[in-house]
Structure 1
Amino acid sequence: MKLRPYQEEAKNSIFEQWNLGIQKTLLVLPTGCGKTIVFAKVTEDCVRNGSRVLILAHRGELLDQAADKIQKSTGLGCSTEKAEETCLGSWYRITVGSVQSMMREKRLQRFEKDYFDTIIIDEAHHCVSDSYQRVLSHFSDAKVLGVTATPDRGDMRNLGQYFESLAYEYTLPKAIKEGYLSPIQAVTLPLKLDLSEVSMQSGDFKASDIGTALDPYLYQIAEEMKKYCSNRKSVVFLPLVKTSQKFRDILNECGFRAAEVNGDSKDRAEILQDFADNKYNVLCNSMLLTEGWDQPDVDCIVVLRPTKIRSLYCQMVGRGTRLSEGKKELLLLDFLWHTEKHELCHPAHLICEDEEVAQKMTQNLEESAGYPMDIEEAEQMASEDVVTAREEALAKKLKEMRKRKKKLVDPLQFEMSIQAADLSGYVPAFGWEMGPPSEKQRKALEKSGIMPDEIENAGKAAKLLDRLNKRRAENLTTPKQIRFLERNGFQHVGTWPFDSAKNLIDRIAGNGWKVPRDITPSTYKPEPVQQSFEWGA
Structure 2
Amino acid sequence: MPAIHDTQIFRRWTWQDFERNLARLLMFAGWKGVRLVGGSGDHGADVLAVDGHDHRWIFQCKHTQAGVGREAIDEVREAGRIYGAHTLCVVTSQMPTRGFIEELDRLQRGGLAIHHIGPGDLVALYQQAPEYMPSRPQMRPYQQQAVENGRNALLERGRAQIVLATGLGKTVVMSEIVADLLRDGLLEEGRVLVLAHTIPLVMQLLTSFWRVLPKDVATHRLSEGEVPLDFTGITFATVQTLQTMTPRALEALPSFDLVIVDEAHRVGAAGFSRIIEDLSATRLMGVTATPWRPDGGSIDRWFGEPVFQMGIKEGLAQGYLSDVDYRIMLDGIDWDLVREASVLGYSVQQLNKRLLIPTRDQRAIEIIRDTWERESRRRGIVFSPSQTHARHFAADLRANEFRAEALVSEDSAVQRFVTLSRFAAGELDFVCVVDIFNEGLDVPDVDLLVFLRVTHSRRIFVQQLGRGLRIGEGKDKVVVLDFAADVRRIHAAMELDDSVGRGEVESLAISRAAVNFSDRSLDSFFYEWIADLGSIKNHDADDVVKLPIFDPTQFNFPEE
What TM-score bracket applies, with the shorter chain setting the length?
A: 0.5 to 0.7
Among candidates 27, 52, 67, match of residue 191 of structure 2 = 52
Shifted more, 281-290 versus 247-256: the winner is 247-256
1:98-137 counterparts in 2 under 5 A?
A: 98-106=238-246, 109-111=249-251, 115-137=255-277
TM-score (norm: length of structure 1): 0.59
Within the alignment, does 1:27 sit opposite 2:174 as a pair?
no
More helix by share: 1
Q: Aligned partners of 2:494, 2:200: CA distance in 1, in Å?
A: 28
Shifted more, 122-131 versus 103-112: the winner is 103-112
Task: State the aligned residue count.
Answer: 362
**How big is the shift at 1:336?**
6.2
Give the corresponding residue for 1:379: none
1:220-259 counterparts in 2 under 5 A?
A: 220-230=363-373, 231-232=376-377, 233-259=379-405
Matched letter for residue 116 of structure 1? F
CA shift in 2, pair 1:234/1:196, >3 Å: farther
Q: Aligned partners of 1:180, 1:360: CA distance in 2, in Å?
A: 13
CA deviation digits over 1:378-431, x for unaligned, max 9? Answer: xxxx9xxx9xx9xxxxxxxxxxxxxxxxxxxxxxxxxxxxxxxxxxxxxxxxxx
Within the alignment, does 1:13 sit opposite 2:149 as a pair?
yes
**How big is the shift at 1:311?**
1.8
**How big is the shift at 1:253?**
3.0
Would the aligned equivalents of 1:306 and 1:345 in 2 still touch at CA under 8 Å? no
Q: Aligned partners of 2:519, 2:454: CA distance in 1, in Å?
A: 21
Would the aligned equivalents of 2:330 and 2:358 in 1 still touch at CA under 8 Å? no
Shifted more, 151-160 versus 350-359: the winner is 350-359
Among candidates 209, 217, 227, match of residue 360 of structure 2 = 217
**How big is the shift at 1:196?**
7.0
1:446-465 counterparts in 2 under 5 A?
A: none
Give the corresponding residue for 1:190: 330
Shifted more, 318-327 versus 11-20: the winner is 11-20
Would the aligned equivalents of 2:330 and 2:357 in 1 still touch at CA under 8 Å? no
TM-score (norm: length of structure 2): 0.57
Q: Aligned partners of 1:19, 1:277: CA distance in 2, in Å?
A: 42
Give the corresponding residue for 1:171: 311
Would the aligned equivalents of 2:265 and 2:293 in 1 still touch at CA under 8 Å? no
**SS at 1:147 equivalent:** strand
Matched letter for residue 250 of structure 1? D
Q: Aligned partners of 2:434, 2:193: CA distance in 1, in Å?
A: 31
**How big is the shift at 1:161?**
4.3
Q: Aligned partners of 2:366, 2:504: CA distance in 1, in Å?
A: 32
Q: Aligned partners of 2:517, 2:202: CA distance in 1, in Å?
A: 41
Q: Aligned partners of 1:184, 1:290: CA distance in 2, in Å?
A: 18
Matched letter for residue 223 of structure 2? K
Please list every run of 5 or more consecutive structure 1 residues that lacks an aligned counterpart in the other structure.
Answer: 200-204, 373-381, 390-537
Q: Aligned partners of 2:265, 2:442: CA distance in 1, in Å?
A: 20
CA deviation digits over 1:16-68, x for unaligned, max 9? Answer: 323442x4331111112111111111112333312421100111122122222
Would the aligned equivalents of 1:239 and 1:304 in 2 still touch at CA under 8 Å? yes
Matched letter for residue 10 of structure 1? A
**How big is the shift at 1:6?**
0.8
Among candidates 65, 70, 76, match of residue 204 of structure 2 = 65
Give the corresponding residue for 1:3: 139
More strand by share: 2
Would the aligned equivalents of 1:13 and 1:167 in 2 still touch at CA under 8 Å? yes
Within the alignment, does 1:260 sit opposite 2:406 as a pair?
yes
CA shift in 2, pair 1:56/1:108, >3 Å: farther
1:56-95 counterparts in 2 under 5 A?
A: 56-75=195-214, 76-87=217-228, 89-90=229-230, 92-95=232-235
CA shift in 2, pair 1:305/1:110, >3 Å: same
**How big is the shift at 1:71?**
2.5
Shifted more, 343-352 versus 28-37: the winner is 343-352
**SS at 1:127 equivalent:** helix
Within the alignment, does 1:270 sit opposite 2:418 as a pair?
yes
Q: Aligned partners of 1:301, 1:53: CA distance in 2, in Å?
A: 37
CA deviation digits over 1:152-179, x for unaligned, max 9? Answer: 4867733234332111101223222333
**SS at 2:218 equivalent:** coil
Would the aligned equivalents of 1:192 and 1:337 in 2 still touch at CA under 8 Å? no
Among candidates 369, 377, 392, match of residue 517 of structure 2 = 369
Q: Aligned partners of 2:317, 2:198: CA distance in 1, in Å?
A: 32
Within the alignment, does 1:314 sit opposite 2:462 as a pair?
yes
Q: Aligned partners of 1:361, 1:324: CA distance in 2, in Å?
A: 20
Identity among equivalent positions (%) equals: 25
Would the aligned equivalents of 1:52 and 1:118 in 2 still touch at CA under 8 Å? yes
Matched letter for residue 222 of structure 1? I
Would the aligned equivalents of 2:193 and 2:236 in 1 still touch at CA under 8 Å? yes
CA deviation digits over 1:135-157, x for unaligned, max 9? Answer: 10102343211111134486773
**How big is the shift at 1:271?**
1.8
Shifted more, 56-65 versus 245-254: the winner is 245-254
CA deviation digits over 1:64-113, x for unaligned, max 9? Answer: 222222223112221221122113x4052321111111112516644368
**SS at 1:162 equivalent:** helix
Would the aligned equivalents of 1:53 and 1:94 in 2 still touch at CA under 8 Å? yes
CA shift in 2, pair 1:168/1:280, >3 Å: same
